[in-house]
Each structure stands twice: as structure tokens, then as C-alpha cells.
Amino acid sequence: MFSLAVFVSGRGSNLNSILNAPKLRNLIEVKAVVSNKADCQAFDIAKNHFIPVYNVGYKEGFLSFDELGNLFYSLKIDLIVLAGFLKLIPDSFVKSFKNKIINIHPALLPSFGGNGMYGMNVHKAVFDASAQISGASVHFVDETYDTGKIIAQRCVDISDAQSHEELAERVLKIEHQLLPFVIEKFALGKVFVDKTRVRVLN
């Protein structure tokens, strides 16, 4: 089994999409769900699946990123998936897990990314710019927000969207397809990184 750790901060619908993807059922195991929040809806989803949950950060009783890294080595985690995790990952942790951390972003990077661009802020910016398409991007995590190499993207027509909330709903549907798709490709050893591009084989 291909072992995952999933980082979350809130609702957990992307975590849910991973846990319920038929193609991932016999391919992956989510060994840890990690949050910067003491409690969040995503933790309830994890607990319903009997997946251990951990807190990371600088608050009392939380694991440090160094401790979490050691835990991941002992659990033999193959891939770390940021699924709605809204904190910056420290440089040292990124370096320890080079090309093993991916993030889903609810827009077509490299536009509409960066510090403060998360959740509804992203959809509002896309809507207010009058963009006619949006979508989701899965990318490698590097030391800054949303700048790592893009692995896969899907787009959606938003030319007739009436509000940023409606736009968000359309993008979320795409996210729930894209993230399991990318994880499946990693689990099958079909993601390759060369100097300039990421290649995902069919």
C-alpha cells in the first residue's frame, strides 16, 4: 500500500474525496491526518475512518514539524497531501520531504495564488477579475505559497457564474476529481520530475 499523510485545516471535503475514491481503495492507506487546528470537521471524518489525528504547530501539546517528520519516517509515509491546509510549511520540513509534499489550490496557478489566497479569497479574486474560466491545480510544495511546480490542472467554465460562491462550488467538484487522480498517479509511480516540467504518464 502507498502511504499518505493528509494535512487539513477545516471542512475536509477533499480528505473525504480521497477516502471515498473507488480507484484508491486498494492502492493507498491514509496513515495520519494532521491539522494546525485543535479540532476541525476534517478530524471527524478521519476519526470515522479510524485514522489517527495529530496537531502540528507551536501551541502547547502540538507536535513540532521536526517531531512530525520523525513520525512520518517511522510510519514510512510516501506522500504528504495538503488538502485545505492553510499554514506555510517550514523550509526544513519541505527540504526533508523534497518532491513528496503536494497541495491542492482552488484556481489555475500561477494566477490567483500566494499569501492570503486561500478558500473564498481565491474565488472572490477570480470572480472580481471577471475571469471566464477557473479550475484547480495540484502542485509540489516548495518554500513559498503556491509556487512549486504544477503537477496537474483541470479547468471549468465560469462565464455564467452569478457569484463567487457558485464559482467555488464548481471548482470544488473539479478538486474532488483532480486530487484522487493525482494521488493515484503517484501511487502507480507515474509522476516524474525533470528540470523543467513534471510529467504524469497515462
Q: By the criterion CB under 6 A, which residues form the site for ligand GAR?
A: 8, 10-14, 42, 83-84, 104-106, 118-119, 122, 172, 175
CB of residue 189 to ligand GAR, shortest distance in Å: 25
Active site residue 105: yes
CB of residue 195 to ligand GAR, shortest distance in Å: 26
Q: Where are the alpha helices (DSSP H) in the chain?
A: 13-19, 41-48, 65-75, 91-96, 119-128, 164-187
CB of residue 172 to ligand GAR, shortest distance in Å: 6
Peptide bond into 180 cis (omega under 30): no
Q: Whole-angstrom Cα distance, residue 161 to residue 42?
A: 28
Residue of 49, 105, 123, 176 marked active site: 105
Number of residue whose CB is nearest ligand GAR:
84
Of 31 and 139, which has the nearer Cβ to ligand GAR? 139
Q: Are 29 and 1 in contact (CB under 8 A)?
A: yes
In the chain, the amino acid numbered 171 is V
Catalytic residue positions, numbered: 105
